[in-house]
Amino acid sequence: MFTDWPAPTGKHLSLAVPFTADRPLALTSGARLAPVQVAYETYGRLNDARDNAVFVCHALTGDAHPARHHADDTPGWWETMVGPGRPVDTRRYFVVCANVVGGCAGTTGPWTAGPDGTPYGETFPEVTVADMVTVHRALLAELGIRRLRAVVGGSLGGMQTLEWLLRHPEDADGFAVIAATARQSADNLAWNAVARYAIRGGDGTAGPVREAGLRTGLGTARMIAHLTYLSEASLHRKFGRAPRKGGTRTHPSSLVQGDFAVESYLEHQADKFLRRFDARSYLQLIGAMDHFDAFAVPDRLTGAAAEPAVLLYSFASDRLFGPEHSDHIAAELAGRGLAARHERDETSDVGHDAFLLDVPGFLAEADRFLKDLDLRAGARRDDLVAR
């Protein structure tokens, strides 16, 4: 099923095919997709009660590798959150993380070979955040996991977590929606519009992606995204108006080649990204984010029998999904009879990327939330034994 780009890597990566020609994935758009392969990694051990699993949902450019499995392993993208002694403690929990459908790190997406043996490319059907959750749940069924201790995710991962909560509140004891939104603001839609335009080589959204423009287009899109992930304060602290190191334009990038250190940083981020991500997957995933509107259907969650714990966490310096986004989620959930705790971080001035970094108050709150879920699960088991 794999084509040349990009080859999934990592000795801990596992593959599952929860949707086959006989049982295709019914997408929100009405299209059917089969087969669907899912790349995932697991950490820790599933307990005898099979109720200590935590599902980690990754952000826009993430993958199934949130943390190292051992000291010599490749670093993961959420080392501060996942691992021994971390909030998602792999000594206590069986952790599952999977690449999303439409992605490019092992799960079926535009890069995958379609029915005719060639990559789907432009013909890959549109996917939504709801489709991502459907695939996650199918993977868990393959693994024999019926109930989770928690679903945890930040940014696009938080949007998946929120969607999961609204569709299937009975699936987990708790849901942690971090630095996320229920719907994109006009400002966010505009940033993605510029990124989309860059990738498509200046021909808007109507035409096919031009192969010759992929490198510069996707690199430019990554630069744009990085400016939204960081705050003005953090950019100033790191770079200010410092000149490019050495004062010469020696970076191998074909992009920008400006005189300042901040430009060199953006070039470096773009070049790294081009080595691991597919432009068509990027278009798919930002499209899924743009069309996500969690509370567009008024009666979602109303009357649900399950009442899971919900943590909303935001960062005041986040210019993408600041506290007002979590306030909106909390109000909508309250209107449907579900209380959510919103914790707002004022300590980090880093911006959106703070959820990926070592922010002590944030990590302590995530740890407290998960340990409270452990107590709840223990009380539930005691009650079942007493009966």
* CATH code where residue 32 lies: 3.40.50.1820
Q: Taking the CA atoms of the chain, what radius of gyration do you get in angstroms?
A: 21
Q: Is residue 354 part of a domain?
A: yes
**In a domain? residue 3:** no
Q: Is the pLDDT of residue 202 over 60?
A: no
Q: Do residues 42 and 116 share a domain?
A: yes
Is 163 found in the same domain as 253? Answer: no
- In the set 65, 136, 251, 352, the catalytic residue is 352
Dist. CA 99–CA 92, nearest whole Å? 23
Check whether residue 235 and residue 346 sit in a common domain: no
To the question of pTM greater than 0.95 for the whole model, the response is no
Kindly name the residue from 171, 318, 345, 353 that is annotated as catalytic. Answer: 318
> 299 pLDDT band (50/70/90 cuts)?
confident
Q: Is residue 307 located within the same domain as residue 337?
A: yes
61 shares its domain with 122:
yes
Query: Does 291 participate in catalysis according to the annotation?
Result: no
How many residues are given for the chain? 387
Please tell me whether residues 253 and 299 are part of one structural domain.
no
Tokens of 107: 């799960």
**DSSP of 102-131:** T-SSSSSSTTSB-TTSSB-GGGSPP--HHH
Q: Are residues 129 and 40 in the same domain?
A: yes
Residue 1 has pLDDT above 50, yes or no: no
Domain end (from 249, 267, 287): 287
**Low-confidence winner among 66-70, 246-250, 275-279, 359-363 (lowest mean pLDDT):** 246-250
Q: Report the alpha-carbon distance of residue 161 to residue 319 in Å, rounded.
A: 20
Whether the CB-CB separation of 14 and 125 falls below 8 Å is answered with: no
Note whether residue 4 is domain-resident: no
What 3-state DSSP class applies to 226?
A: helix
Residues 168 and 75 in one domain: yes
Contact call for residues 110 and 102 (beta carbons, < 8 A): yes
Choosing from 287, 320, 343, the residue where a domain stops is 287
Domain check: are 61 and 155 in the same one?
A: yes
Where do the H-state alpha helices sit in the chain? 129-142, 156-167, 186-199, 214-229, 232-238, 261-274, 279-291, 323-335, 360-386
Examine the domain organization and report whether 325 and 377 are in the same domain.
Answer: yes
Catalytic residue among 65, 155, 253, 281: 155
User: Does residue 226 share a domain with residue 171?
Assistant: no
Q: 246 pLDDT band (50/70/90 cuts)?
A: low
Is residue 175 in a domain? yes
Domain end residue (candidates: 227, 260, 287): 287
pLDDT tens digit string along 345-371? 999 999 999 999 999 999 999 999 999
Boundaries of domain holding 355: 14-184+293-386
Is residue 2 domain-resident? no
Write the pLDDT tens digit of every residue in 323-339.
999 999 999 999 999 99
352 is catalytic: yes
Give percent of the chain with pLDDT exceeding 90. Answer: 75
Is 127 within the bounds of a domain? yes
The pLDDT value recorded for residue 275 is 87
β-pairing, 36-43 vs 14-19, is: antiparallel
> What pLDDT sits at residue 160?
98
Higher pLDDT, 58 or 117: 58
Give dist(CA 132, CA 158) in Å, integer.
12
Residue 5 lies in a domain: no
Instruction: Report the pLDDT value the prediction gives residue 175, as an integer from 0 to 100.
Output: 98
| 257 and 307 both lie in a single domain | no
Report which secondary-structure segment, H or E, holds 175.
strand 172-178
Q: Average pLDDT of 169-192? A: 97
CB proximity list for 253: less than 8 A, separation 6 or greater: 219, 267, 268, 270, 271
Structural domain includes residue 1: no
Q: Residue 14: how many CB atoms within 10 A of its CB?
A: 16
Q: How many domains does the chain have?
A: 2
CATH of the domain at 234: 1.10.1740.110
User: Is the link from the previous residue into 8 a cis peptide, with omega within 30 of 0?
Assistant: no
Q: Is 318 a catalytic residue?
A: yes
CB 103 within 8 A of CB 160: no
